[in-house]
Structure formats: C-alpha cells, structure tokens
Structure 1
Amino acid sequence: MGPPGAGKTTVGRIVAHRLGLPVVDIDDDVLETTWKMSVASKLDAVGGKRFLEEEGQVLCNFSASGCVVSLTGSNPLHPEAMKHVKQSGMVIYLDVDSEDILQRLHRMKVDRLVGREAGQSIRDILRHRKQFYERWLDVRVFCGRNDTVEDVAEKVLQAVERYHNHAAETYVSTRSDSKGASGETTHFSDVVVEGLASDGGLYVPKNGFPKMGTNEWLRLVDMSYQEQALVLLEKCIHPLDVSALDLRQMIYKAYGSNFSCEDVAPVKHLVHNMYIQELFHGPTSSFKDLALQLMPHLFAYCLPPMCNYLILVATSGDTGSAVLSGFSGLRGADRRRTGVLVFFPEEGVSEIQKLQMTSFNESNAKAVSVRSDFDFCQRSIKRMFGESGLTGHLAVEYGTVLSTANSINWARLLPQVVYHSTAYLNLCRDGVINFGEPVDVCIPTGNFGNAMSAVYAKQMGIPIREVICASNHNCVVSDFIKTGEYDLRKRRLIPSHSPAIDILKSSNLERFIYHVSDSDSRLVKDLFTHLDTQQHFRLPDLLLSRIQQEMQAGWCSEADCLAAIQSIHTQTGYIMDTHTAVAKVVADRLQDATCPVVICSTVHYGKFAPAVLRALQVENIPQSPLEQLEKLQRTASIPGMHRDMMKCVKEGDRRGHVVCEADYSVLVEEVENVIQDSFLKVM
C-alpha cells in the first residue's frame, strides 16, 4: 500500500519473487479484468467519486491467500475494502519521500490522480492521503530519500520478518540475561507495566537499538516533532505490542496543544558554537513532560485486565508534577484503575515545584513530602518493589499491583531518545551542520536517564561525538566518570540551586555500565550489589577507558552557576534556569569548540525564581511565588514566562499537604492509604 509512484507494483514483484509467491497487481490483474477496460478509461467514464466507490467494491469481492498483493494508490480511501483486506492479510505501507514520488510521477508523465480537484496540486493530494495510509497499516516501511526499489523491497522483507518474529524482540534485566523463573520472554508491554525487573535490575532491549541509515534520517529533517517521534518509536516498539495506529493516536495526543511551543522541543542559538534545546514547553515546564505526556498512554494500553495499578514515584522535583499531569490525562476505565503516589523531599524542591505537585488533589493522585532527601525516597520505593510480602499483600487484599514512572521504567526513558534525535535534525534543518557532522550534547544530570537516552540516540545513528554530564556540587556522577570509582561513603547530599540533580545514587548508570561492558550482566549485578551493601564500587580500568571515550563530566559551584545566568542574560537577554546554567559552565570548561554543542535546558527558569532573581542581581526579592514570577516576567524577554506554570501558581491549592518522617514503615502506610482511597477493596 502507498501513494501513486511509491513503487508498489515493482516492489511487490521483487518481494513475491524473493518469497517464492505469486503476485497480484490490483490495477492490472483485478480492476481492468473486471471492468474490461483500462483504469484511466474507467476514471474518464465515471469520474473520481464514482470511481472510488466502484474500485472499492471490486476489492471487497476479491479474495486471495498465499500471495503478494499490490493495492492501488486510492484503495485505502475506501473503508469497507480495507477492512476486508486486513481480515486476510498483513498491510504494509510504503512510506516514500514525497520528492521521490513527484520525480517519478513527472518521469511517467502522470498529471492526474483520483480525487484531485481543480487547482489542487499533486503534493496536496499526497499530503491528504497520508492519513488514510496510516489508518490501515500494520507495518510502515520507512523509505529513505533516493532509496532504490531493491532497497525498499529488502526493507519490506525485513519488516515482514520482524512482524512475524515478535518473540525475538524481548527485554532483559541489566542483572540477568536469562529468562525469568517461569521461562517466559519479556516484551515491551511487560516492561512498561512492571517497571523494575524482579531481580532489581533495569530492563533493556536484548538486541539493542535499531540503526537507521543516513537517507532515513534525512527524510526526518523537515518533519514535525510528532511525525519524527512516530517513525522513531515505531522502530523501537513492536507493532504487536502497540499497533501503529494506536501509537500514532497516543503521540499526537501527547504532543499537541498541551505544549506551549509548536516545535515541542525547539533548538535555539545561544552564543558561539552553543545551542540550547528548550525542553520546558510542556504543561509542567520541565523535560519530564516529553516522556510523561506519552508514557501514561503506553502504560494504560499495556495493562492486563482485572488489576488496579499504583504508580509509585520518587522525585527531586520535576518528575512528580509531570507524572501527576500525565496520568491525569487518562480517561474512563484506564483512569479508574490507575493511581499515582509521589514522594518528594520536603526541603529538597523549590516552592513552585512543591505547589505544582500538591495542586493535584484527586483521590487517586497524591503527592507526599518526606523529611529526607531524594535518595531515601527512591531507596524506599525500590525496597517496596523487592518485598514479596508487601506486594503480595497489596495484590491479594486490594487487587493492586505496584509499578513506577521514574526513569527506571523503560517507557519513561524511550521517548527521551526522540528529542535528542530531533535536536540534531533541527541543526541540520537550520543549516548549522550537514548530516554526519558531529555534535556534543551537554546534560545536567543526576539520575542519568537523560544522559542515557542521548547514548541510545547515538546508537540509532545520530552522530553525537560526546555526551557531557554536568553536575552541581553533588558530583558523584562527575567523579565516577573521571575516576571509575562510585563512592557514597562519607558523602552526604548538599542542597543546591539545581535540586533536580541533587542525587547521589544514580539509577540509570546501571544501564550505561551494561552498555559499555558489552552486556556483562554478571559484572553489573556484582557492582550494584556491592554499592547496595558497601556504598562503593570501582570499575576495571578497561571499562573506565571505554566510558571516557564516549562521555565527559564536570561539576559547577553554586557561585559559578549564578554567574553564568547573569552573564548570558547580559550578553543575549536570554534567561537560563539553574540546571541549564550548570550545563553551560561545564560545557565551557570541557567542550573544545571544534563542533557545535547542544545544551539540554531541562526546566523553565520560573521554577527556580528566587535563585534566578538573585543571579540577575534583582533587589528586594518577594516571598510570594506569584510575585516572584511577575517580577521575572518584567525582567525577562526570552524565553517568555511559562503559561501553565503561571496559571498553576495563580490558582494553586494552598491547603497544604501530607509530610512524612523519614521512616520506611510510614511510607508503606501512605501507599496503603492511597490504594484504599483509589480503589474498591477486594473482599
């Protein structure tokens, strides 16, 4: 299936020959045989509207098996005909570049298409028809610019093999590459719901990431963020786990009017060879929205029936509000059987972050603060997942299963691969680089998920030279990348102006070590077991060398962070938040200026208004979050104030929130309380 000029007939013949099957061309072998006249003559005789109906009826009366069928370009416009086709076969969409198609149609002297009206260009027809092809496909074959018919045929054969070999597209734990005790394989739909592997490890795709060719990337350059996300995620999610049509609907809902910028994740020039990717245009003004506006839809889609699910989240600020916002977008039965409980450090987030989280007051969505730090919150949640007595009690007593939306969940991490890819494509679109030229990426990171997703984008084929990890004075990740030693002994968490990266135990580092060690799950298990028990581990020298080939790291003092905000504002009028400023300082120190560097701006500066106002040397900083934002709004020109954050602060709930002591048993009680409030008790 595909538009006129996509090569359906020629590709169909090649594929049929390779598979040893007969081939049927609907135009030549069915329509003209039935009508006893050429397709062109029929179109002249009855006109476009009548032609579509008669063409569809012929297809409805056609049946075949064990063969390759090339549809007409207009068959997908007839719903009944396509329903009939899908009942007996697998529908493959040849998604060919429009420029390639227009050139072919010009060579074939085709100047009319079914349904084309006066004044309407062929390009318009192709754009209009795409929605129909995407409605009926089982598998998309994404064709690169200038792909030959032989290239396309090979991709079709690979797509068919992938579709029928679902069992091969599995996931393994970073701590065990063997099957579970039951002997069952683990698929995408399983890892989305489970979150954390039963052995305490993190799920990763067993066969790694799909690699895309240069011609395919070039086609993505001029596409919208939603179109880019759809192509990339289709390659990473098997269609039997999430159908292509359902995935499309999720993506367009996740990245729509809820984002204040049409580009979703725009890249803007900062100074010299530095560019900023603004990842804060989502509803809660942080990069977490790029994953958490999509992840709840994937989660709900993959849920098995007959169970309730409680999403447990530990956050150092931004994840909490993003999870609550994302899951609040679910509707109907999905919403009724999904609850969310967020734990955050009472003194470890900004007032605006706290207000964003506590403004959600629904029975099945709650944020609770803890008189401790993020690491205690995360450690407690991991402990809950590991205690079979607790999980068994919740399952039997309440019919409720625990899951997580932290970046340890694969469905949280995967959408982040998209924006690292689109950052590079945007630079290509804007003429900053040609595809294939390298860039560096500098990321403020604590839990390492954002950095890990950049590594995965590189595996897919994005020419990222180095990932630069930027820490504040809680620089355990930076020290590790420099020394190979992860040491939590005598190290305490020190609050900072950039609290989202105030993390000492970096969960996604486990995935990175698994990657650079060539999937050595035994090594990963030994290292992280030692970290759990001894608060320390050291990498072998060879492994450290591999890490340093792919990654650099540095850290930034509080004073340097604030100075960077002030300096950039003076030079450009642009206001960075405290986390972006950390990345800017580290990039200045480590990047060699031989290629562009993209700085991930992970949060809107308004969330950290007091620190930003202080950096801008504003006097008489008000105490009220609303007055702080209004003062920043008068100070700032670019980027503008975030609309949803401003609305939240103006309308936010001031009734307070639950504060817990740093006691594991108290957190367990809160879990049970939320379950009782959210779901009917199973008697």
Structure 2
Amino acid sequence: MGLTYQSTRGGEAGVPASMAILKGLAKDGGLFMPTEIPKLDVPMEKLGTMTYQETAYEVMKLFLTDYSPGELKDCIAKAYDSKFDTEEIAPLAKADGAYFLELYHGSTIAFKDMALSILPHLMTTAAKKNQVDKEIVILTATSGDTGKAAMAGFADVPGTRIIVFYPKDGVSKVQELQMRTQKGANTSVVAIHGNFDDAQTGVKKLFGDKSLEALLDSRGFQFSSANSINIGRLVPQIVYYVYAYARLLANEEIADGEQINVVVPTGNFGNILAAYFAKRMGVPVKTLICASNDNKVLYDFFTTGTYDRKRDFILTNSPSMDILISSNLERLIYLSTGCDAGASAALMQDLSEKGSYTVTEDMKAFMSDFAGGFATQEENAATIKRIFDSTGYLIDTHTGVAATVYEAYRAESGDRAKTVIASTASPYKFSDSVMEAIAGPESIRDKDGFEVVDALNSLSGVDVPAAVEEIRHAPIRHNTECDVDKMEEAVKAILGI
C-alpha cells in the first residue's frame, strides 16, 4: 500500500495519496497528513548533481507512493518545462549576505507556480487511477497569487472547472489583472466584497455543505481544492528546499551536513511547513524563521503559544500575507500533539468558536525549530531600498518582509548560519510598492500600473517578465462580483445548476 494519509481531526485514515489529492479536504474538515514523514533515500551529494525535475522525483516518490514511477515522472515533466523562464526552475541568487531562492520564474511570477503547475497533472492522473467519472470543480480562495497560478494550471484541462474567489480590494493591480484576463473556457473568477479570510471561510463552508455536495453529485460534479491545504500543493513545495541545499553543496557554498537557516514570508503557513518537512526528511536545517507582516498572528503565536485571530485585519503592501487564519498551521499543531487527532480537533474547534487557542508547553517545545519575526510596511520598504542601493538586487514586498525579519533575527540571536530566503514573487508583481520603496512616492504619482512597470524597468535594468507583458493589452474576461453570503449562488450560477 505504501504511505497513506489521515485527517488531522481523526475522521479519515488509510487514504492513498491520489485520493487525498482529489479530495483536498478531509470529510471532517481536517487536513490530510502522511502517516510518517519519510527520510530522503539519496545522499545530498548525489542530489547536487541532479536537475530540478530529477530532484522532484526523488522527493515526491516518497510521499505519492500509489503513483507509478512513469505516472509521476510524466506529471513532473509536464509541470517543470518551458513555462519557467529559467532552466534551473528555482535559481539561487547570492545577495546581501544571504541566498535568495527565486521561486517566481513560472508562468504567473509567484512561488505558487512551483506547486500549481504540477497539481492539475497529479489530480487528473488521480481521477483516472480512481475511476472518477465526475467533472472536478476546483474551488479556491486567493489572497492574490494562488488564484492566478491555479487558473493557469487548470485552464482547459479536460474534466476540470475552476472557480476562484478573491477579495475585491485586497490584491495588487497586476494580480487582479492577471486573474481577470485569464483565458480558458473552464475558468471563472469572482471578486467578493470582503477580505481573504472571508473568502477562505466561505470556500470551506461550501466544501462542508452536504446538501450542496449531493446536488453537485446528481449533476456530475465534485469539488476539490487547489488551496495550500491540498497535500498535492504541499509535497511539490518540499522539493525546492531539498534542491536549494543540494545546489549550495554542489556549488561549495556549504559543507556536507552543514546546517542552514531558512526564512519564509508567511501567510497560510504552507510554504514554511514544506521547509519543515524537508528538515524532517533529513535536510540539515537549523532554524525556520517565520516572517510576518503587520498581520502578525503567527509571530504572536510562536512568541506566546496562543493563536488569536480576534484582531483587526490590516491591508498591507504584501497582500499575499494579509491572512489571520493560517490554515496549514493545523498540520504542525497535529504533529506537535504527537498526532493526537482528538487534541488537534479540539484546538481547531476553539479557533472556530472562540477565535483563539493556546498550545501546551510540550507542544511549544516541539515547535522550537521555529522562530517568528514581523516587519512593518516602513521597515519593509527601507529593506527593499537598502538591498537595491547596496547590491542592485531587486526584491518584491513579500521577500522584503523576509529579508527585514532575517536582519533583525541575526542581530538579536547572533546566529551566523548560512541562510536561504524564500523569494516568493517577482518585483514586477508589486511594481507600485517596489518602485515607491526605491524611488519615493512621487515616482508613482499619477502613473498607471504599466507606466510604473516601465519606470521600474528603466531604473533597475531588471527585465519585465513575459507574464506582465502578456496582460498589458489582454482583454478583461471576468467581471463577476458577489457578497460573502452569496458565494454559493455564484457557484451554482457558474455551473448552471
């Protein structure tokens, strides 16, 4: 049977990887977790000689054990191809005393491409394996990047539809245009009158609605998720941390076995959780530094042991991290209870009913691999400017949060371990904020989005990515909006039921 998956809340167990990917969310509202985190079975030195695609196979075969080698290699080959504008897929750039792992070379210029370019292939392969004859309806909430990357991945994939909900005023101009110009007869986008947490909660509610599920079933549809709660998103994200360590070793930047730190700008906790899985698999990671923006719910959690979403929601210039309910944290909570689904479910119930929960001292000790930090918008802008002025290296606002937090962490801890910073989006995805940071507010005054893009290009000399050029003249194809309490009606209208 190989490795199977179980719900963090105890309602399902013994689920093969392909079914866990198809379902997305467990029946009891929990997230699927493997029964164990497998150890890498190829030495790091050998991984250092491999391509990104070969590394992906060595990592993913350990988690997706019911996929045949041929099926998995086929999914990997279709995902990591010319959609990426660099052969390395995830290059490392050395700047400002750290290694920036550039995860934005895919078709939508954000790190979500790393997992969402393979998820449709994993999912359609899984549907065939499990004789699923229904049309798969991908339902996703996005804080800006997931939506576009998921739509790009699923556009015109036979047997699938995708519906994306995003907060109307909570994404950047480029992010919104990328979604609203998306091609594909099976793609739909809905702007909701609310914030990301409203969208995410609304989507979870739709997943849990049994009468809606029965109606869909009778019409030949079934829901699945492309959000980071899907294990088919998490597993591909582990790959780039393994790859980064192997590259540093191959390039003689580190010695074999030397520990590194990893800094990740964090919203939904999936990307940093993947780094933690890489550590558990045997990658020598010392500290996982969780970088938050002004919505510092995770920083407060790692500092106090209490997760409390009862606070003001702040719109920042790093919108993909404007999140108060970090869904993937549930997986770490589950591990920290010793995989006690009952304890995990009780904490999640507290979060849902009371808006907060507090972990035990033992659970807090279990999470001592993590350090938290946060950056204000002003600090973030200052870091982007400082790194650009001193090195010529241009980073976006999310990577700026990570770089700011790393600088503070080094100063406070004295920790001098070599460090990989997850660089999660192209600076052109947030060109207004990046331009304002390096050239002041007057540099963007009275300029439209693309005038700012061109000004940033001439100032920095960094090429404008094809993904941005593409939307410059693309027609708007999606205009649907709805209130938060009308999401179900919007889905039914799109599906014609």
Task: Report the Cα offset of residue 329 of structure 1.
Answer: 6.2
Once the two structures are overlaid, the 10-residue window that deviates more, 535-544 or 467-476, is: 535-544
Cα displacement string for residues 156-196 of structure 1 (whole angstroms, at most 9, x for unaligned residues): xxxxxxxxxx1x521100111764xxxxx311111011000
Counterpart residue type for residue 227 of structure 1: E
Following the alignment from structure 2 to structure 1, what is the Cα–Cα distance between the partners of residues 237 and 350?
Answer: 30
1:434 corresponds in structure 2 to: 255
Task: Report the Cα offset of residue 595 of structure 1.
Answer: 0.9
1:251 corresponds in structure 2 to: 76
Counterpart residue type for residue 411 of structure 1: G
Q: What does 1:11-30 align with in structure 2 at a 5 Å threshold?
A: none
1:467 corresponds in structure 2 to: 288
1:173 corresponds in structure 2 to: 7
Following the alignment from structure 2 to structure 1, what is the Cα–Cα distance between the partners of residues 438 and 12?
Answer: 54
Counterpart check, 1:646 vs 2:469 = yes
Task: Report the Cα offset of residue 637 of structure 1.
Answer: 3.0
Structure number with larger C-alpha Rg:
1
1:606 corresponds in structure 2 to: 428
Q: What does 1:577-616 align with in structure 2 at a 5 Å threshold?
A: 577-591=396-410, 592-616=414-438
Following the alignment from structure 2 to structure 1, what is the Cα–Cα distance between the partners of residues 245 and 477?
Answer: 44
Q: Is the 1:428–1:434 Cα contact (8 Å) retained in structure 2?
A: yes
Counterpart check, 1:188 vs 2:17 = yes
Following the alignment from structure 1 to structure 2, what is the Cα–Cα distance between the partners of residues 445 and 367?
Answer: 24
Following the alignment from structure 1 to structure 2, what is the Cα–Cα distance between the partners of residues 298 and 224?
Answer: 20
Task: Report the Cα offset of residue 250 of structure 1.
Answer: 1.5
Following the alignment from structure 2 to structure 1, what is the Cα–Cα distance between the partners of residues 153 and 78?
Answer: 11
1:524 corresponds in structure 2 to: 344
Distance 1:540 1:318, change over 3 A: same
Q: Is the 1:283–1:645 Cα contact (8 Å) retained in structure 2?
A: no
Q: Is the 2:156–2:184 Cα contact (8 Å) retained in structure 1?
A: no
1:673 corresponds in structure 2 to: 493
Following the alignment from structure 1 to structure 2, what is the Cα–Cα distance between the partners of residues 405 and 655?
Answer: 21
Normalization by structure 1: what TM-score? 0.70
Following the alignment from structure 1 to structure 2, what is the Cα–Cα distance between the partners of residues 654 and 250?
Answer: 31
Cα displacement string for residues 427-460 of structure 1 (whole angstroms, at most 9, x for unaligned residues): 1111110121000000000100001100111111
Following the alignment from structure 1 to structure 2, what is the Cα–Cα distance between the partners of residues 327 and 345?
Answer: 21
Q: 1:503 aligns with which of 298, 303, 323?
A: 323
Q: Is the 1:573–1:637 Cα contact (8 Å) retained in structure 2?
A: no
Following the alignment from structure 1 to structure 2, what is the Cα–Cα distance between the partners of residues 393 and 256?
Answer: 38
Counterpart check, 1:267 vs 2:92 = yes
Q: Is the 1:345–1:372 Cα contact (8 Å) retained in structure 2?
A: yes
Counterpart check, 1:209 vs 2:31 = no
Q: 2:177 aligns with which of 355, 365, 373?
A: 355
Task: Report the Cα offset of residue 654 of structure 1.
Answer: 3.6
Cα displacement string for residues 92-149 of structure 1 (whole angstroms, at most 9, x for unaligned residues): xxxxxxxxxxxxxxxxxxxxxxxxxxxxxxxxxxxxxxxxxxxxxxxxxxxxxxxxxx
Counterpart check, 1:367 vs 2:189 = yes
Q: 2:109 aligns with which of 260, 285, 291?
A: 285
2:278 corresponds in structure 1 to: 457
Q: 1:308 aligns with which of 135, 144, 154?
A: 135
Q: 3-state SS of the aligned residue for 1:587?
A: helix
Task: Report the Cα offset of residue 632 of structure 1.
Answer: 1.1
Gaps of 5+ in 2: none
Following the alignment from structure 1 to structure 2, what is the Cα–Cα distance between the partners of residues 169 and 613?
Answer: 47
Task: Report the Cα offset of residue 605 of structure 1.
Answer: 0.7
Q: Is the 1:282–1:289 Cα contact (8 Å) retained in structure 2?
A: yes
Following the alignment from structure 2 to structure 1, what is the Cα–Cα distance between the partners of residues 12 and 330?
Answer: 17
1:385 corresponds in structure 2 to: 207
Counterpart check, 1:424 vs 2:223 = no
Q: Is the 2:183–2:477 Cα contact (8 Å) retained in structure 1?
A: no
Cα displacement string for residues 300-357 of structure 1 (whole angstroms, at most 9, x for unaligned residues): 1111332111100000000000000011263xxxx1x210000000010001000001
Q: 2:309 aligns with which of 480, 485, 488?
A: 488
Q: Is the 2:143–2:170 Cα contact (8 Å) retained in structure 1?
A: yes
Counterpart residue type for residue 403 of structure 1: S
2:120 corresponds in structure 1 to: 296
Q: 1:534 aligns with which of 354, 360, 365?
A: 354
Counterpart check, 1:555 vs 2:364 = no
Distance 1:358 1:600, change over 3 A: same
Q: Which runs of 4+ in 1 moved over 6 A?
A: none
Following the alignment from structure 1 to structure 2, what is the Cα–Cα distance between the partners of residues 675 and 441?
Answer: 42
Task: Report the Cα offset of residue 644 of structure 1.
Answer: 2.1
Question: What is the identity percentage for the equivalent residue pairs of Structure 1 and Structure 2?
Answer: 36
1:628 corresponds in structure 2 to: 452
Q: What does 1:31-180 align with in structure 2 at a 5 Å threshold?
A: 166=1, 168-176=2-10, 179=13
Task: Report the Cα offset of residue 624 of structure 1.
Answer: 2.0
Q: 3-state SS of the aligned residue for 1:344?
A: strand
Counterpart residue type for residue 210 of structure 1: P
Distance 1:281 1:546, change over 3 A: same
Q: 1:317 aligns with which of 144, 148, 172?
A: 144
Counterpart check, 1:408 vs 2:229 = yes
Q: Is the 1:441–1:466 Cα contact (8 Å) retained in structure 2?
A: yes
Q: Is the 1:352–1:625 Cα contact (8 Å) retained in structure 2?
A: yes
Q: Is the 2:117–2:153 Cα contact (8 Å) retained in structure 1?
A: yes
2:168 corresponds in structure 1 to: 346
Following the alignment from structure 1 to structure 2, what is the Cα–Cα distance between the partners of residues 276 and 199?
Answer: 38
Following the alignment from structure 1 to structure 2, what is the Cα–Cα distance between the partners of residues 409 and 535?
Answer: 23
Q: 1:569 aligns with which of 365, 369, 388?
A: 388
Gaps of 5+ in 1: 1-165, 180-184
Task: Report the Cα offset of residue 655 of structure 1.
Answer: 5.7
Q: 3-state SS of the aligned residue for 1:306?
A: coil
Following the alignment from structure 1 to structure 2, what is the Cα–Cα distance between the partners of residues 237 and 222?
Answer: 23
Following the alignment from structure 2 to structure 1, what is the Cα–Cα distance between the partners of residues 11 and 93?
Answer: 41
Q: 3-state SS of the aligned residue for 1:616?
A: helix
Following the alignment from structure 2 to structure 1, what is the Cα–Cα distance between the partners of residues 164 and 351?
Answer: 25
Q: Is the 1:629–1:646 Cα contact (8 Å) retained in structure 2?
A: no
Q: What does 1:651-666 align with in structure 2 at a 5 Å threshold?
A: 651-654=473-476, 657-663=479-485, 666=486
Distance 1:361 1:254, change over 3 A: closer
Distance 1:361 1:329, change over 3 A: closer
Following the alignment from structure 1 to structure 2, what is the Cα–Cα distance between the partners of residues 297 and 492?
Answer: 39
Q: Is the 1:416–1:450 Cα contact (8 Å) retained in structure 2?
A: yes
Following the alignment from structure 1 to structure 2, what is the Cα–Cα distance between the partners of residues 456 and 643?
Answer: 32
Task: Report the Cα offset of residue 361 of structure 1.
Answer: 4.5
Normalization by structure 2: what TM-score? 0.96
Q: Is the 1:195–1:409 Cα contact (8 Å) retained in structure 2?
A: yes
Following the alignment from structure 1 to structure 2, what is the Cα–Cα distance between the partners of residues 400 and 605?
Answer: 38
Q: Is the 1:363–1:674 Cα contact (8 Å) retained in structure 2?
A: no
Task: Report the Cα offset of residue 626 of structure 1.
Answer: 1.7
Cα displacement string for residues 47-94 of structure 1 (whole angstroms, at most 9, x for unaligned residues): xxxxxxxxxxxxxxxxxxxxxxxxxxxxxxxxxxxxxxxxxxxxxxxx
